[in-house]
Structure 1
Amino acid sequence: MGRAKALVIACCLACCGYASPLLAAEEGGRVHEGTIFTLWPLVDYRESPRDQYRNLSLLGPLFKFQSHGDDSTLAVRPLLYRTEDRREQTAQTSYLYPLASTDSSPRATTFQVMQLLQKNVYRKGEEGEERTSQFFPFYLQGRSEKYGPYTAVFPLYGDIYERLWRDEIHFVLFPLYSRTVNKGTTSRNYLYPFFNTIEGDKESGFQFWPLYGQAAKEGVYRKRFFLWPFFLSETRDINTDNPKDRLYLFPFYAALDSPQRTSRHYFWPFFGHTVDRGSGTVPEKPAGPTFEIPDGDEERNTGKLEEWDYFWPFWYTVRSAERNEVSWLPFYAGTVKKETEKHWYMWPLYRTDKMDSKLFRQERDRVLYWLYSDKRESWPVDGTSRRKVACWPLYVYTKDPKGVMGFSFPAPVEPILDKEGIEKNWAPLWRIYQQRWNEQGDSAVSFFWNLYWHEARGTDLAYEFFPLLAYRSESEFTDFRLLKGLIGYRNRAGAKQLTLFWLPFGVNWGKEAVSQSAVTLQPGTGSRP
């Protein structure tokens, strides 16, 4: 277990832009040791045949080439970052994240630029390929199973099917003319949004915005406006058991009436009152002085939910059996639901969030949004947990469910944008110091992109402060170098050797004679046999 966690630590450091030394293992009676070659800041090469692991870093975190089993990584930060899984035949590439990316698998290949330019190829076996592309909103091309292929060149001409929440969209020299069809309703716009007509099954309407407009569908809805947004009225859901009547005389008066809900607002946003009758049950009085209901509220609060707005959205209260909320910003705001709580104190100074369920628990404390954040998560069923503490722009501390902890400095972006793309493409460029460790004492450290690094696994230890000294110690093996081999000392199971001036041979002594080939250290490589 300790070795497995140590390998996790080493791989984490390698993924962040540098590799960690990999120690020896025995296989079939032969010793297969890793290779370490450093020439800071130009080259850092690490290899472990036992783990099928290789990592080459050039110019600190700028260039990275790594392979680990079937997985490989290529990074030219921050321009390109590519990962590939040869076994699953998948690959992901990001270009100047988050500007552009590609994603490839046996089933699909996608390419996007800021989610505006997209090109997708979907492989459907014997059915062949389906291709879609767009440069939103100027060019869209695709195929609908119901309507067939479509193309749109905005604003000149276009036909679009089953996209943008509509069954059909047609336009010519938009905004001069456009037509949409959705669920049997056809809407035509002339010089959008000023002139509009609506037609459908027992449905019709028109508008001359913002002066006047009306529309109705028999037995479903009717609505009209006059001098929008100052006068609006509508009746919706007539064909349901909860029809709704709304009236707006902005900003003096607004009303909503339905069998389940009644709402009144006067001189919006200063005063409003809403009662949602729902099941007609009396809400429970929540515990704690924060949510004490004033005397008399128990008699009025006969519905499922009651809301009082005094200066929305800053001052209001909401009471219900499942939700209790109060806001007196900037002094205090709090929401309590069945499994979640949220509290603000002196907004935006301090905020707490809590989620507590049988499967998942989360607590988070924040000061000034991202200045300081402490998030703790746990899974009671399997007893695992994780934690992340971030203090912008100084540091980020993490602890994952496997018990591996990490610390990095500085952190100018990570506390604000907690994204995997930031972690892979950008964060290694500014992380001066980084450490990974676990409770068993295994650890790996890098300072100034491996100007100084060390790794400890149980009783094994390796560290280097380029180019002054390098030291490695493991079972029956010790190796020490000054100035990359100007003076070197090695002890392998009592067989000792002293080398000078980077010579490939030296003075040997100890309980056994050691052949020159067994102790040779190539000049300046830092490699072990």
Structure 2
Amino acid sequence: MPLSRAAFWVLLPVMLLAPWQCLPAATLNLAPLLFFESGEQGYQLSLAGPLFDLTDEYIAIRPLFYHDDSQTDILYPFGHSTRERMRFIPIFSYSHEEDRENAHLLVFFYGRHESERYGGVFPLYGRLDHRFGHDRIRFVLWPLYSQTTTDGIENYSVLWPVFRYSPGRELQIFPLWGYEKTVNYRHDYVLWPFFHFRRGAQYINAFIPLFYYSRGDTYWNFSILWPLFTFSRDTSPELTSANFPWPLLRKATGAYEELKLFPFYWTKTVGESYRMKIVFWPLYKREGSYNPASGIREERTTILLLSKKSTLTGEQEVDSQQITAWPLWHRHTLGERRLWYFPWLIPIHDEGFRRNYLPLLTLASGESSPGSSEVNVLWRTFRYARSGPHRSFALSFLFSYKDGPGYSRIGFLSDLLHWQWSAPQERP
């Protein structure tokens, strides 16, 4: 049996049964099969590369399970829980706040809004309060019958969305004919989405897609073969725009300036708050935005959609920067901390994805900050670390090297063979 395999099976039971978390300082490197390290800042145990991690902060069995003090993932993104919310799509979900509570299990649901409680069995029967933009929803054999209440206005539906009725406000036999009336306008349609007529604060005559005309107090809009050819004029704010045809050619001037010769050239400027330029889309795109209230400015450059550079700055210094050369490499700088990954196959920046999947897809990574840095290749098979004046290098169990003020150490076969010597002291 090879020496490395023998050492692994001999030491693994000892590590799993002994109180190794309490060791003041220890390292066992059989990467990528097993890696253990403890020190003043905590401990970490890794098995089978990125598949199993146990530290003083979290435990991960990727991609099945992750848990730390604030959250738990099970087959993320399907299962996720925090102190306020939990879910396992599509089986159940639960959330609670001070004045509301919502839960569902398969077809059963329950909720509370302030002191009012509701529930039901979808689609047989139920009631919901303050959900989906309505004050109250009732249904029986949905979509056979449903009733909504919004700001005191009742709306009834039979075979939703075919028959809808609200006393004095709405009547629809979708898509054949219908009207909707409010204090400010009345909107009628025939054979939706083709014929539309609106009168009131906004005036519309439309036979889509052949003709569309609308006007209001400060604007008017005219289109032939909507939305291909349109012309718009607005006086508040001042803006004139034309598409001929959309989405290939567009010109706008006034509140913002825009010129579009898609896909060859496209530029748009909205004062100091936003600017954008595209050349030979999707080859090159550059955007910049500025929020005067917060003083935050963001610059983004994109090459072929997925390779990009973005920089977020405040009034005084660079807050963060991200550079992606998809699918090979990604670097993220946050303040004085810098991280990089190789490869970068799936350009997702979701934290749940980073916890559960990114280590499985990363062959090499690095992290650096003032006074320390670390590089890992093939899940610590090759590892370099620096902390202050101390440096270490390891090639799994085969070879290791450490040095610091006054000493150097070299080891082979998990340090079964090792030599350490002291640096010569300077004479006074």
User: What's the TM-score, normalizing by structure 1?
Assistant: 0.71
Give yes or no for contact 1:188–1:196 (8 Å, CA) kept in 2. yes
Give 1:131 shift: 4.0
**2:311 corresponds to which of 373, 376, 400:** 376
Matches within 5 A, 1:78-477: 78-84=63-69, 91-104=70-83, 109-114=84-89, 117-122=92-97, 131-134=101-104, 138-145=107-114, 148-199=116-167, 203-217=168-182, 219-236=183-200, 243-278=201-236, 304-321=238-255, 323-338=256-271, 339-357=273-291, 359-370=295-306, 372-381=307-316, 383-402=317-336, 404-413=337-346, 416-438=347-369, 442-477=372-407
1:75 maps to 60
Give yes or no for contact 2:179–2:189 (8 Å, CA) kept in 1. yes
Deviations 1:149-190 (A, max 9, x none): 111322211211111101121111122211111112211112
SS at structure 2 position matched to 1:311: coil
Give 1:305 shift: 0.9
Higher strand share: 2
Q: Distance in 2 between matches of 1:111 and 1:197?
A: 37
Question: Of the two, which has the highest radius of gyration?
Answer: 1
**Cα RMSD between the aligned structures?**
2.4
Deviations 1:316-371 (A, max 9, x none): 222123x112222111222211221112212222111112455222211111211x
Give 1:246 shift: 1.4
Q: Distance in 1 between matches of 2:410 and 2:79?
A: 47
Q: Distance in 2 between matches of 1:143 and 1:33?
A: 51
Give yes or no for contact 2:302–2:308 (8 Å, CA) kept in 1. yes
Give 1:276 shift: 1.1
Q: Distance in 2 between matches of 1:184 and 1:82?
A: 45
SS at structure 2 position matched to 1:449: coil
1:37 maps to 28
1:523 maps to none
Give yes or no for contact 2:32–2:378 (8 Å, CA) kept in 1. no
Deviations 1:52-104 (A, max 9, x none): x111112221111111xxxx2111111111111xxxxxx21111221210102
Give 1:396 shift: 0.9
**1:58 corresponds to which of 20, 41, 47:** 47
1:283 maps to none
Stretches of structure 2 lacking an aligned partner (at least 5 in a row): 1-22
Give yes or no for contact 1:269–1:310 (8 Å, CA) kept in 2. no
Q: Which amino acid aligns with 1:250?
A: I
User: What's the TM-score, normalizing by structure 2?
Assistant: 0.86
SS at structure 1 position matched to 2:379: coil
Q: Distance in 2 between matches of 1:418 and 1:277?
A: 41
Deviations 1:418-474 (A, max 9, x none): 11112221111122111223466x421111111121112343211111222211111
Residue 387 to residue 170, structure 1, CA distance change in 2 (3 Å): same
Residue 483 to residue 120, structure 1, CA distance change in 2 (3 Å): same
